Structure 1
Amino acid sequence: MKKIGVLTSGGDAPGMNAAIRAVVRKAIYHGLEVYGVKYGFQGLIDGNIEKMELGSVGDIIQRGGTKLYSARCEEFKTEEGQLKGIEQLKKHGIEGLIVIGGDGSFMGAKKLTEKGYPCIGVPGTIDNDIPGTDFTIGFDTALNTIIDAIDKIRDTATSHERTYVIEVMGRDAGDLALWAGLADGAESVLIPEAEDEFEDVIERLKRGHDRGKKHSIIIVAEGVGSGVDFGRKIKEAVNLETRVTVLGHTQRGGSPSASDRVLASRLGAHSVDLLLDGKAGRMVGIQQNKLVDHDIVEILSTKHEVDLDMYRLSKELSI
């Protein structure tokens, strides 16, 4: 293998730039040429591809977002779109492609691999919803962004004796909500993987109020429903002054944490090693702090599972 490509796809995540840097520099170290594909699979179809040098990834390890940009691409889900992408790969002589993103991005990598172009997936998403790895790139940074926001909200909740409902991202996964709730001592955490009856939330609020508790924090994962709706229902049920904060896309931005920079560097470099070893259709990950790789097809057919022991602990500590 002489030439490889790298792209980022789907939602951006802090640490993607560190992964790009690792791919480029690891590949060049081993004598490969590296080509960056801008705007994900859309850029692949359009031929938005440029050669990358050592200097191309200088001073980006600390930056959020992605230097290669990202875009959704419905066209690449079609046979015609995939063939257009393959044509561009052939035009540039690219023999292997590293795809940094989530499960939707991995589906594109799978399709290319099936058509004869070796691809390796690197899990980059704040949602931490990819099976086969303990953590995804961006999760730790997003989690710390949420915790910082909750700490600030708790200050004003205490000052005004209010109940705050905080809606966090995570798509259909509750990892961000659960970890943030446990780290910040939330009274209730609502995640899509566990049924937490609304009556239970209200009962915990009443118990706290009866013993003199003046404020409460309730975290709602977006996969459960709207934080605004929950806030309205809580106010109607217990007549407590309730405010709602939807953190939104602040969770996807910011300089990556040290943990995400290290994780991204390790996974990016490992993806190059796999291509050099002749492997394709694999996803790199980390489990018990060891680098691993899995078949992308198996990963795409496996359901992500949240740590329910942590969920039970969060309820035990919020009595």
Structure 2
Amino acid sequence: MKRIGILTSGGDAPGMNAAIRSVVRSCIYNNIEVFGIYYGYQGLIEGHIEQLHIGSVGDIIQKGGTVLYSSRSEEFKTEEGRDKAIAQLNHYGIDGIIVIGGDGSFKGAKKLTERGIPCVGIPGTIDNDIPGTDYTIGFDTALNTVIEAVDKIRDTATSHERIYVIEVMGRDAGDLALWSGVAAGAESILIPEVPPNMAEVVDKIKRGHERGKRHSIILVAEGVGSAVDYADQIKNELHVETRVTVLGHTQRGGSPTAYDRVLAGRLGAFSVDLLLKGEQGRMVGIEHNQLVHHDIIEALDQKRKISKDLYELSNQLSI
């Protein structure tokens, strides 16, 4: 293997640039040429490809987003689209690809591997919803962004004696809501993995009022329903003032935390090592602080589970 390509695909996540930097410099350290593929799989199809050097990734470790940009590609899902992508790889003499992204990105990497292009996937998503790894790049940064926002909102909730319902990202996974809820001391946490029990949420608020508590924070993952609907239900049942905050895409931005930078560095270098050893169709991850790799599709076929212990702890601490 003499030339490796790298692309980012799907939603951006803080730490992607740190991973790009790690891949580029690890390749150069091993005397491998590295090519940046811009705009994800669509950019691969269209040939937005250029060689990267040490200076190409200077001063990006602290930046959020991705300097390679990202896009979603319906064309790549077709055989014709993948034919165009492979033609571009052959044109540039690229022997293997490292893909940074989530499950959709990994499925694309598997398709290329099946066509003879060795690929390795690096999990980069704030949702922390990829099986086969304890943490994904970007999760820790997004988590801290949410906590900072909730801390500020709590100040207002306390001052005005209101119930705040805060919606965070997590279409199919509740890790962001669960972890931030525990860390920020939320009274209730609603996540897709556990059917919402609004009677319990309302009862918890009532018990708080009975002991003199006049404000509450409810964390809602977007995949479990609308924060507005839950706020209205609480308001109608308890006749209290409620406010809704949807944090939205603020959760994706910002400078990556130290943890995300180190994780990205480790996974990036590990991905290069795997390609050089002849591995393909793999995804890298971290389990119990040890670097691991799995077959991409076998990993994605598994369902990512939340920590039941952490969820039970959240209930215990929010009595």
TM-score (norm 1): 0.99
Q: Which residue of 1 aligns with 2:140?
A: 140
Counterparts of 1:171 and 1:224 in 2: how far apart (Å)? 8
Question: What's the counterpart of residue 25 of structure 2?
Answer: 25
The runs of at least 4 aligned residues of structure 1 exceeding 6 Å deviation read none
Matches within 5 A, 1:38-57: 38-57=38-57
The equivalent of 1:72 in structure 2 is 72
Q: Structure 1 residue 196: deviation in Å?
A: 3.1
- What residue in structure 2 maps to residue 60 of structure 1? 60
Task: Give 3-state SS (helix, strand or coil) of 1:233's partner.
Answer: helix
Which residues in structure 2 correspond to 1:227-238 (within 5 Å)?
A: 227-238=227-238
Amino acid in the other structure paired with 1:45: I
Map Cα deviations across residues 36-61 of structure 1 (whole Å, 9 max, x no partner).
Answer: 00000000000000000000000000
Which amino acid is the alignment partner of residue 304 of structure 1? R
Deviations 1:168-213 (A, max 9, x none): 0022100000000100110000001012311110110111011110
For 1:83 and 1:237, locate their aligned partners in 2 and report how far apart those are by CA, in whole Å. Answer: 58
Structure 2 letter corresponding to 1:123: P
Provide the secondary structure at the position in 2 that maps to 1:136: coil
Which residue does 2:83 correspond to in 1? 83
Superposition CA RMSD, Å: 0.5
> Is the Cα–Cα contact under 8 Å of residues 168 and 246 in structure 2 kept in the other structure?
yes
- Per the TM alignment, residue 103 of structure 1 is displaced from its structure 2 partner at its CA by 0.2
In structure 2, the partner of 1:2 is 2
Equivalent position of 2:305 in the other structure: 305
Matching residue's letter, 1:309? D
2:261 is the counterpart of 1:274? no
Q: Which residue of 2 aligns with 1:126?
A: 126
The CA deviation string for residues 104-147 of structure 1, in whole angstroms up to 9 with x for no partner, is 00000000000000000000000000000000000000000000
- SS at the partner of 1:223? helix
Residue 210 of structure 2 is aligned to residue 215 of structure 1: no
> Is 2:268 the counterpart of 1:245?
no
| Residue matched to 1:115 | 115
What is the CA–CA distance in structure 2 between the aligned matches of 1:34 and 1:105, rounded to whole Å? 19
Alpha-carbon distance in structure 1 between the residues aligned to 2:281 and 2:239? 54
The aligned residue for residue 157 of structure 2 is: 157
Contact 2:171 2:224 in 1 (8 A): no
Structure 1 residues without counterparts, runs of 5 or longer? none
Write out per-residue CA displacement over residues 202-248 of structure 1, whole angstroms, 9 at most, x where no aligned residue.
11011101111010000000110111111111111111110000000
* Identical counterparts, % of pairs: 71
Q: Which residue of 1 aligns with 2:314?
A: 314
Q: How many angstroms does 1:318 deviate by?
A: 0.6
Q: Give the TM-score, by structure 2 length.
A: 0.99
In the alignment, the residues of structure 1 paired with residue 184 and residue 297 of structure 2 have an alpha-carbon distance, to the nearest angstrom, of: 37
CA distance in 1 between counterparts of 2:269 and 2:224 reads 36
Q: Amino acid of the residue matched to residue 169 of structure 2?
A: M
Q: How many residues align?
A: 319
Distance in 2 separating the partners of 1:174 and 1:108? 25
Between the aligned partners of 2:96 and 2:166, the Cα distance in structure 1 is 42
Measure the CA separation in 1 of the matches of 2:297 and 2:134. 18
2:59 alignment partner, SS class: coil
Gaps of 5+ in 2: none
Secondary structure at 2:90 match in 1: helix
